[in-house]
């Protein structure tokens, strides 16, 4: 939320930055497989993770970019912003948010 407020205030004050793209990534590549692993291991769901990886093994994605990531260098350059938390530290919170707002509120 802090980032959105920072951007909205600064983009209003600095018209030359309007239309620019700002990413808030972790500045290093992380594969889909790594993200999935972190979520499932955070919830101690090793068996489910094995099943998913087994299913992934037989599937080939077409047209996918092999490595892709976002960094926050531009945000730091223009606004001095950097993430407050590391991805690994927030996995449980992300999972809980997902369960609370997306899984349990499908009709919302």
Going from N- to C-terminal start, the domains of the chain cover 2-103
Dist CA 104 CA 42 (whole Å): 19
Please tell me the predicted confidence (pLDDT) of residue 49: 93
- Here the tokens at position 96 are 């809980």
Burial 71-108 (b: 16+ CB within 10 A, else e): ebebbeeebebeeeeeeeeebeeeeeeeeeeeeeeeee
- Banded model confidence at residue 98, pLDDT cuts 50, 70, 90: confident
pLDDT at 108 over 70: no
Kindly tell me if the per-residue pLDDT of 104 is higher than 70: no
Segment 20-37 mean pLDDT: 86
Taking only the tens place, the pLDDT of each residue in 41-63 is: 888 889 999 998 998 887 777 77
pLDDT grade for 78, boundaries at 50, 70 and 90: very high
Answer with the residue of higher pLDDT: 2 or 106: 2
pTM, to two decimals: 0.64
pLDDT in tens, 9-20: 888 888 888 889
């Amino acid at each position: 939320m802090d980032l959105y407020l920072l951007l909205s205030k600064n983009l209003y004050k600095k018209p030359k930055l309007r239309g620019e793209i700002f990413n808030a990534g972790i500045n290093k590549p992380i594969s889909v497989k790594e993200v999935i692993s972190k979520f499932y291991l955070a919830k101690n769901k090793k068996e489910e993770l094995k099943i998913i990886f087994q299913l992934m093994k037989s599937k080939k994605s077409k047209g996918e970019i092999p490595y892709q990531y976002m960094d926050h260098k531009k945000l730091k350059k223009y606004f001095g912003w950097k993430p407050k938390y590391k991805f690994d530290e927030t996995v449980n919170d992300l999972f809980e948010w997902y369960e609370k707002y997306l899984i349990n509120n499908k009709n919302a």
